[in-house]
Structure 1
Amino acid sequence: MPQPDPHPEAPRPYRTEVPLRWSDMDAYGHVNNVQYLRLLEDARVIGFREWFGADKSLLDGGVVVSRHEIEYLAPLTYRPEPIEVDMWVTRTSGAGFTLGYVVRDPESLGEGVYALAETGLVLYDFRTAGPRRITEDERSVLQGHVGGPVAFRWSRR
């Protein structure tokens, strides 16, 4: 059974559905921890397409993951219905930004949470093989999706 949402009042500017795959399960009968990274990646790809538009996706310009943190709150088992992933920007810097996530059960009316997560991203210029600055247009889009920090239970911060 998923845990109650630890922070229902936190802004969640973007929500998408992500399908599970039968192969996401491991020998213990639940979605393997490694597969959560794929679920988060799928949510980012879908979200960035909507946030930035299909014709100018942030992914086209280059973005690389610098870090992940995931806190697992309840086992997630396969089902044909998709799960929901809430995604928002927790902070921005000159060349990167951080996304927060809540992986939740859509059937629980927002109460059931399987995991909390955070991903650090750096904008990357493939021509120079190095980071690039966030443009004003990109920053404006990101600012439209800002929410509070991820409320990890076991945070180092």
Structure 2
Amino acid sequence: MFQYQVPKRFTDLNAGGHVDHGVLIDYLQEARTEFLLSAPGPVPAMLDSGVLVTGHWVEYLAPIAYRTPTVDAEVWVDQVGGARFSISYRLSDDGVPVALARTFCVPYDLEVGELRRLAADERALLTQAVAEPVSVQPLGKVKPTELAQARPMPLRVRWADLDSYRHVNNVKFFDYFGQARLELIAGAGPLRPGDPWVVARQDLDYRLPIDFRREPYQVRTGVARVGTSSCEFVADIVDPADRRCFATARSVLVSVDEAGRPEPITEPVRKLLTARQASD
């Protein structure tokens, strides 16, 4: 099993003084990249020819503070197919488990601009490292009907959002969905300082790459379920001109008090969330 210490940055912290949930996805990417670059044979070269992320399943177990300079990551291949493979992670901070995750990947030919199958030697090397996947169950695909009452938000891509493949990096999608969720919740009134909401689970499915352009895309955010202290959000990113879908996301957030303990969702926020919930 591959182990890597992901360096923290002070700018990784959010308003609550913890590493932001979207930054944790960047930690997964750093650990995954080091894992692939450290592999023998043709595997490191796959990053140059192209590897696309098609999905993430992420379970957040505990907040990450800035007590230590690194986050400890365990990384391994958990499944290999003819044209795809998936990777599992266990992350801990100062000995405390903080996240479990799986990432789903496909090889890509950047020169041709098409998905490709794994070469025989690539598949053989990846298969050598296969172990049981981490225990994270999927939240389920987003259904179009769940977005019937969704709130639209214009999305302007920044030049800095692009990666070496000249598409928006997979990590940035989490920022887009997170911004849209908070703007929806803020419709009930200003958010208090700190962390009134924490992300407990998040799944993201990538459909198409997002290119840089000056015209905004659109994030649509709806509500699938409202509980006592938690809420399940659904969202997608679309082109407002032709309705092409670039990604979908399902996430579970928990309302917490200043000590980080679950607390009931306030009535103004509950009313707002219920209005964005699609009828059965």
Q: TM-score interval w.r.t. the shorter chain?
A: 0.7 to 0.9
Deviation at 1:54, TM superposition (A): 9.2
Q: Distance in 1 between matches of 2:21 and 2:75?
A: 19
Q: Distance in 2 between matches of 1:35 and 1:52?
A: 28
Partner in structure 1 of residue 13 of structure 2: 25
Higher relative contact order (CA 8 A, sep 6+): 1
Task: Count matched residues.
Answer: 140
Aligned-residue CA RMSD in angstroms?
2.0
Partner in structure 2 of residue 129 of structure 1: 113
- After TM superposition, where is structure 1 displaced by more than 4 Å over at least 4 residues in a row? 53-56, 154-157
Q: Distance in 2 between matches of 1:124 and 1:97?
A: 12
Partner in structure 2 of residue 68 of structure 1: 56
Partner in structure 1 of residue 129 of structure 2: 145
* SS, match of residue 51 in structure 1: coil
Identity %: 34
The letter of the residue matching 2:92 is: R
Counterparts of residues 6-21 of structure 1 (less than 5 Å) = 13-21=1-9
Pick the aligned partner of 1:96 from 84, 91, 96: 84
Q: Distance in 2 between matches of 1:91 and 1:24?
A: 31
Deviation at 1:96, TM superposition (A): 1.1
2:67 corresponds to 1:83: no
In structure 2, do the counterparts of structure 1 residues 55 and 140 end up closer, same or farther at CA, with 3 Å as the change threshold? Answer: closer
Uncovered stretches (5+) of structure 1, i.e. residues with no partner: 1-12
Counterparts of residues 21-60 of structure 1 (less than 5 Å) = 21-52=9-40, 56-60=44-48
Deviation at 1:93, TM superposition (A): 1.4
Deviations 1:46-67 (A, max 9, x none): 1111114699432012101100
| Native 8 Å contact 1:24 1:78 kept in 2 | no
In structure 2, do the counterparts of structure 1 residues 61 and 29 end up closer, same or farther at CA, with 3 Å as the change threshold? Answer: same
Q: Distance in 2 between matches of 1:155 and 1:99?
A: 15
TM-score (normalizing by structure 2): 0.47
Counterparts of residues 105-124 of structure 1 (less than 5 Å) = 105=93, 107-108=94-95, 112-124=96-108
In structure 2, do the counterparts of structure 1 residues 90 and 55 end up closer, same or farther at CA, with 3 Å as the change threshold? Answer: closer
